[in-house]
Amino acid sequence: MQFIKPGININFIGGRKIAFYLSIALLFISFSSLIIHKGPRYGVDFAGGTLIQVKFLSPTNIDDIKSGLDTIDMGKSSVQLFGDPEENEYLIRTDKSVSTGEGYSHKVGAALKTATGNDVDIRRVEMVGPQVGKDLREKALFAMFYALLFITIYISGRFESEWFKSGVMAGGLIFCVYSLSSFDVSIPFLIAAALVITLVLFWFLKLKYAMGAIVALLHDVIITVGVFSIFDKEFSLPIIAALLTIIGYSLNDTIIVFDRIRENLKKYHKNTLDVTINKSINETLNRTVLTSLTTLVVVITLFVLGGGIIHDFAFAMIVGIVIGTYSSIYVASPILLVWQEYEKRRK
């Protein structure tokens, strides 16, 4: 299926400076939001506490719900509308981890019915201890770090035949991260430092394709997390799943473009690198647009019709697909050109 006419020649590379400035602005806004909000707003999965989903038979005042919770010592709690307002469903979050046995749901239901004068159905009760939440946070960070690291090994081997060099580097980083994690070192700081060291090593080892891929992936993840922070959305385990999916999706787009660049460098070796990169992006544009549009149709459907449980996951996927498609064109590929320009100036 040809969605875009063959032979199209859009000057993507000509607009790379504008794209770089746009990316820098988006990253700055994302970091600023995270700093202002003191990091992502963790859900019960990561922060620990108790989550209760309730449904009332008729509209209910949130203040009445809170007063009912106060009578059963729920600690510091927040109440928000969940899903369609006509459904009268609410999510109750509390920072207190309580024993959620069979009698607990009945206790909560009775307190809410007394306070609101409205029949209530307890849909679900989830409890996560603070230590478990901390462990889940650390494991989620490690999962994303290792995903990025092993992806760069693959890129280095696939496009630059540097399996051994990138493998040894990755092994050294994993050993250092695991060794330091046994001491009293902040895991987020440790992994951030490891990623910075990875980028520096790629630069000195001249692994330009791996450099382009990991910068694009970091770009996608940071902006997606930043958007969640801006909209004050909850960060939970399904969002980690979404971020890992975004990493895979964005990488797939990047590899397609990189593969065409490598082919065209051999086929049109007399062309300058900027012409070759631009030609390669245009040749893969039909596939990129079709894949992005069909995937977006699915996740937008999930976002609109999937209900409150999957709403944030679908939102993360929408943001990630848009940013991932943009980065494979305007971030990953132009880094190869930036690298060449740097090498020319250095020589």
Confirm if 210 and 251 have CB atoms less than 8 A apart. Answer: no
- Distance separating alpha carbons of residues 86 and 329, to the nearest angstrom: 43
Q: Domain 13-43+132-346 maps to which CATH number in 1.10.10.10, 3.40.30.10, 4.10.910.10, 1.20.1640.10?
A: 1.20.1640.10
| DSSP letter, residue 162 | -
Distant-in-sequence contacts of 20-28, Cβ < 8 A, 24+ apart: 20/330, 20/334, 23/219, 23/327, 23/330, 23/331, 26/223, 26/226, 27/219, 27/222, 27/223, 27/226
The residues facing 80 across adjacent strands are 91
CATH topology of domain 49-128: Alpha-Beta Plaits (3.30.70)
pLDDT confidence of 119, banded at 50, 70, 90?
Answer: confident
202-222 confidence digits (pLDDT tens): 888 888 888 888 899 999 999
Q: Please determine, for residue 75, whether its predicted confidence score (pLDDT) is greater than 70.
A: no
Q: What is the share, in percent, of the chain residues with pLDDT greater than 70?
A: 94
Confirm if 246 and 228 have CB atoms less than 8 A apart. Answer: no
Q: Please determine, for residue 22, whether its predicted confidence score (pLDDT) is greater than 90.
A: yes
What angle (nearest 5°) sits at the alpha carbon of residue 277, between those of residues 152 and 200?
A: 35
**Could you tell me where in the chain the CATH 1.20.1640.10 domains are found?**
13-43+132-346
* Residue-level pLDDT at 149: 84
CA gyration radius for the chain?
A: 24
* Residue-level pLDDT at 314: 92
SS3 192: helix
In sequence order, the 6+-apart residues with CB closer than 8 A to the CB of 94 are 49, 50, 52, 69, 74, 75, 76, 77, 78
Q: Please determine, for residue 100, whether its predicted confidence score (pLDDT) is greater than 80.
A: no
Q: Please determine, for residue 319, whether its predicted confidence score (pLDDT) is greater than 90.
A: yes
Weakest-pLDDT range from 134-138, 220-224, 271-275: 134-138
3-class SS letters over 91-102? EEEECCCCCCCH
Q: Helix-strand-coil percent breakdown of the chain, rounded to 5?
A: 70, 10, 20
Q: Please determine, for residue 315, whether its predicted confidence score (pLDDT) is greater than 90.
A: yes
Nearest CA to 94 out of 69, 122, 75 is that of 75
Q: Please determine, for residue 62, whether its predicted confidence score (pLDDT) is greater than 90.
A: no
Mean pLDDT of the chain: 83
- Residue 150's alpha-carbon distances to 170, 247, 332, 338, in angstroms, are 8, 12, 17, 24
* Residue-level pLDDT at 102: 61
* Residue-level pLDDT at 44: 75
Nearest CA to 312 out of 39, 43, 123, 37 is that of 43
> Between 272 and 1, whose confidence is greater?
272
| Mean pLDDT value across residues 246-255 | 88
Q: What is the DSSP string of 75-144?
A: -SEEEEE-S-GGG-EEEEEES------HHHHHHHHHHHHHHHSS-EEEEEEEEE-HHHHHHHHHHHHHHH
> Between 191 and 243, whose confidence is greater?
243
Nearest CA to 26 out of 335, 326, 334, 338 is that of 326
Q: What is the DSSP string of 303-338?
A: HHHS-HHHHHHHHHHHHHHHHHHHHIIIIIHHHHHH
264-273 confidence digits (pLDDT tens): 888 888 888 8
Q: Please determine, for residue 24, whether its predicted confidence score (pLDDT) is greater than 90.
A: yes
| Mean pLDDT value across residues 49-77 | 81
* Residue-level pLDDT at 207: 85
- Distance separating alpha carbons of residues 187 and 178, to the nearest angstrom: 10
Q: Please determine, for residue 279, whether its predicted confidence score (pLDDT) is greater than 80.
A: yes
Token pair listed for 98:
């309580």
**Could you tell me where in the chain the CATH 3.30.70.100 domains are found?**
49-128
* Residue-level pLDDT at 68: 81
Q: Please determine, for residue 30, whether its predicted confidence score (pLDDT) is greater than 90.
A: yes
| Mean pLDDT value across residues 283-309 | 86
* Residue-level pLDDT at 221: 92
* Residue-level pLDDT at 251: 87
Single pTM value for the model? 0.83
149-162 confidence digits (pLDDT tens): 888 888 888 888 78
Q: Please determine, for residue 6, whether its predicted confidence score (pLDDT) is greater than 80.
A: no
Q: Which of 47-56, 114-123, 251-260 has the highest mean pLDDT?
A: 251-260
